[in-house]
Structure 1
């Protein structure tokens, strides 16, 4: 993300189905297993809108960790398979950029925080929800199926509003 190209994108509300993980930072290994399991179960979702793009929706609503939804965007007709849940994402405006293979994820998010601070936007937060991460309390990521799990590349979608 050396040159940090980004765009501001408005995305209509959508429905997603997948698995939820709610845990502390110390249990982050469990999250990797949830993401892997969701990837393996993707075929159960025939109504996937972008079949090769797995979503990682993170919400920093815990002081010791976060809530993560490993999902796929799906059609309204898609039934919810056993053990999965559905989540509706409202229409939002996003700061969209790419995390490149070989780059440091922490550094990528730091640069996004800096760019937002210097812009006319700030991170969006849901009404009546307490967050424990100030700069980027909600992080949406889109992972291509062909990613390298040890050194992934992916799209970052940060919900934003005007300051």
Structure 2
């Protein structure tokens, strides 16, 4: 697993929002929302990278979180009906690509790398950013994504 540290500039996204429990997510609710959003992507006319869908995870408490699936947009001038906007500030991320069945293992490895390499989590707001290829089918394909965990250097 190749791991790197990258800084990503702030960006604006247009997409859909899901809120629920970890149990609901484990049962596949996010995959269903992801597939529906894939079918609506063409409504977003000002996409910056038409080949990527971005997932943003914001943890609300110990049992629930909010997840956005968005397309990065040049501006927020036109928001398709039923979609929302989000502005994400610049972050430094520990990142790695992953393909397989055990996504949680990739997250565990990334967290171990963070602890061993002089970084700490920077998850006051955003907990995780995931990038999916636009042709990824969450209902039938093995997970294939790029994982980003916000970090900062230990002081």
1:13 aligned onto 2:10: yes
1:67-110 CA distance string (max 9 Å, x none): 1001111111541111111110001111111112x351111111
Change in CA separation of 1:10 and 1:70 when aligned onto 2, cut-off 3 Å: same
**Partner residue in 2 for 1:27:** 24
Map 1:125-136 to 2 at 5 A: 125-126=123-124
Q: How many residues align?
A: 150
> Which stretch shifts more, 57-66 or 11-20?
57-66
Q: TM-score, normalised by structure 2?
A: 0.89
**Partner residue in 2 for 1:116:** 114
**Partner residue in 1 for 2:132:** 143
RMSD: 1.6
Change in CA separation of 1:99 and 1:14 when aligned onto 2, cut-off 3 Å: same
CA distance in 1, matches of 2:84, 2:41: 13
Q: TM-score, normalised by structure 1?
A: 0.85
**Partner residue in 1 for 2:150:** 159
**Partner residue in 2 for 1:65:** 64
CA distance in 1, matches of 2:137, 2:79: 28
How far is the alpha carbon of 1:8 from its aligned partner? Answer: 1.1
Give the 3-state SS of the residue equivalent to 2:60 in structure 1: strand
How far is the alpha carbon of 1:13 from its aligned partner? Answer: 0.6
How far is the alpha carbon of 1:147 from its aligned partner? Answer: 2.5
* Structure 2 gaps, min length 5: none
**Partner residue in 2 for 1:94:** 93
1:125-153 CA distance string (max 9 Å, x none): 23xx6xxxxxxx71110000232533021
Change in CA separation of 1:99 and 1:78 when aligned onto 2, cut-off 3 Å: farther
CA distance in 1, matches of 2:68, 2:57: 6
* Structure 1 gaps, min length 5: 130-136
